Structure 1
Amino acid sequence: MAPLRVGYVREHFSSPLLQFAEEDQGKTFTLVECPSGTGQLISRLTNDEIDVVIALTDALISGIAKGSKAYKLVGSYVTSPLNWAVVTGKSSPFNSIADLIDTTIGISRHGSGSQTMAFVMALQQGWSPTTLKFQVNNDIKGLINSVNDSSTSAFMWEWFTTKPWLDSGEVRFVGSIPTPWPSWLIAAHPSPKRAPKEAVRGFLNSLTGYVTKFDSQDSRESTNVSFIQKTWGCPEADIKEWMSTVKYTNDCATISSAVLSEVLRILSTAGFIASPEGATKVVQSIFVDTEVARII
């Protein structure tokens, strides 16, 4: 059996996955980095470049809601919210989220978390979703360039990942929008030829061990800080602040029915997706591969 191709975004959230990969040495899975984020992960799933992804909850769920057959949800990863910084250019005229109404927002790709969270921001601000305008800028570098050349007013990206550019003075933060749901889920291609159920279950069970160890109090107080510092070069104070906000699942092979329902409710209210029709169990079967994951 060929190793699973696992797509991921190289951020501090990926630390337990990277530790697992170091020990696995490609025997059961190989990592495929997707720096543009969840939109790129979904695209590569569709194009048969990867088999399994760890990606943002809202973008994964909205992708299925909009008709994607390239994956189903198979597990959970990070159970705490993601804090999205709202980022503008160093010399832009925008000083608050309210200033961004009727402007063009930068996103990495259509269907990405940077786009879904713009709809959540609009919902919170009372803006009509039909007025939202977007420009695709592919990755963090393109997004930063766009707010500084004024082709976009702002973009949204995870707070601590973006903070180095804030610290260097290249961008300014005008606010933040935490996700109203747990931030990261795991999905896999539904075909057993691409992602054999037994292999995916084995991957999730093993990943649970690394996640549980990383999430333990002992690791939080010792090895986590040095690992993140060595891997990404983040300042120790930022790492400790991030560690105080993040929480991982204790079982990677589960999906919360409450989370699924809440994401669908908020994104349909925000105007990003149409609310799916059907009884709860029917809807869940559309989104979750129940041959792999337990719905709780």
Structure 2
Amino acid sequence: MKKVNIGGVPEHFNLAWYLTLKNGEYKDIGINLRWHDYPGGTGDMCKALRNKDIDIAVILTEGIITDIINGNPSKIVQTFVQSPLIWGIHVAHDSEYKSIEDIKGTKAAISRYGSGSHLMAYINAEKNNWNLEKDLNFEVIKNLEGAVEGLTNGTGDYFLWEKFTTKPLVDNGVFRRIGNCTSPWPCFVIAVRNDFIGSNKDDLDAILKIINNTTREFKDIPSIDKTIANRYKQQIDDVQEWLNLTEWSQELIDENTIMTVQKELYNLNIIPKIVGYNKLVTKL
């Protein structure tokens, strides 16, 4: 049986992978697909792709584009979630900061450099007309648990993370959300190492066919809202709101979107150059 390693964040966006794995759908076609959780997010997955710890990553669009341009030998093969990500901007519950303006010039907690929490801090700064050199400072906290500790003890001042994932921490009085920042593009793509694409195209096609069949009908799965609420310790109302806002995709990301992301990243000095569509994307 062919072993394939895949990584993603342990969040509700990836429940479709869990369901198809639980049902044994990959083993039925001779593929031993092994899921690896990356609570540290995109930066950790980029490193795992480079180190060949995983073959496939379900990863933030802006993060993998940045890392491919910086030498990650991988390509995007499909959009996974078409809708944008809503990033909550969080401070400690008892923080003195009450508004976005209050956190200007303070320290953003980030999971690691090159992560979504890092890149979206730039997007938020630009959106609010901050000085990107003077008003942005960073403290690496590794993951959501590290953010809880960092914001609570004051090593970081604010933290951007997907707002539904952090909602229980807001409800429990650990974080306070002072605003949102929405990514201006589809949030998750599927990226694959180039050497894996070259030698395992049929297996990759088969894996994508299975997951796409599930995401097409994901919202119609009986009691899916209750399943998500129980598994991810969410309120049912929040899950239903999230389901209404979220759209999966089974298509390859288009060239205009790739250029939009690159132009934004280039303007923020996050990437050194803008590259051609085929440097970042491959059509299977």
Fold match by TM threshold 0.5: yes
1:179 paired to 2:183? yes
Consecutive unaligned residues of structure 2, counting only runs of 5 or more, are none
User: TM-score under structure 1 normalisation?
Assistant: 0.89
SS of the residue 2:2 aligns to? coil
Shift of 1:130: 2.0
Structure 1 residues 102 and 233, CA, compared in 2 at 3 Å: closer, same or farther? closer
Matched residues in 2 for 1:26 and 1:209: separation?
Answer: 13
Partner of 1:232: 232
1:284 paired to 2:277? yes
On the 8 A contact 1:265/1:275 being kept in 2, the answer is: no
Shift of 1:24: 2.5
The correspondence for 1:264, drawn from 262, 265, 271, is: 262
Percent sequence identity is 28
Structure 1 residues 238 and 200, CA, compared in 2 at 3 Å: closer, same or farther? same
Amino acid at match of 2:85: L
Q: CA-to-partner distance for each residue in 1:141-170, whole Å, 9 max, x for gaps?
A: 111211111111101000010011111111
Structure-to-structure mapping, 1:41-80, within 5 angstroms: 41-69=45-73, 71-80=74-83
Shift of 1:8: 1.1
User: TM-score under structure 2 normalisation?
Assistant: 0.93
SS of the residue 2:77 aligns to? strand
The correspondence for 1:129, drawn from 124, 128, 132, is: 132
The correspondence for 1:98, drawn from 95, 98, 101, is: 101
Partner of 1:107: 110
SS of the residue 2:245 aligns to? coil
Partner of 1:166: 170
Greater shift in the superposed pair: 151-160 or 130-139? 130-139
Q: Deviating runs (4+, > 3 A) in structure 1?
A: 192-195
Partner of 1:280: none
RMSD of aligned residue pairs (Cα, Å): 1.7
Amino acid at match of 2:84: P
On the 8 A contact 2:167/2:234 being kept in 1, the answer is: no
Matched residues in 1 for 2:12 and 2:248: separation?
Answer: 13
On the 8 A contact 2:55/2:196 being kept in 1, the answer is: no
Matched residues in 2 for 1:139 and 1:68: separation?
Answer: 22
On the 8 A contact 2:6/2:36 being kept in 1, the answer is: yes
1:20 paired to 2:5? no
Structure 1 residues 186 and 26, CA, compared in 2 at 3 Å: closer, same or farther? same
SS of the residue 1:274 aligns to? coil
SS of the residue 1:129 aligns to? coil
SS of the residue 1:130 aligns to? coil
How many residues matched?
A: 279
Shift of 1:26: 5.9
Partner of 2:273: 275
On the 8 A contact 1:51/1:194 being kept in 2, the answer is: no
Matched residues in 1 for 2:45 and 2:70: separation?
Answer: 16
Q: CA-to-partner distance for each residue in 1:192-217, whole Å, 9 max, x for gaps?
A: 388612211211122110110104xx
Shift of 1:68: 2.2
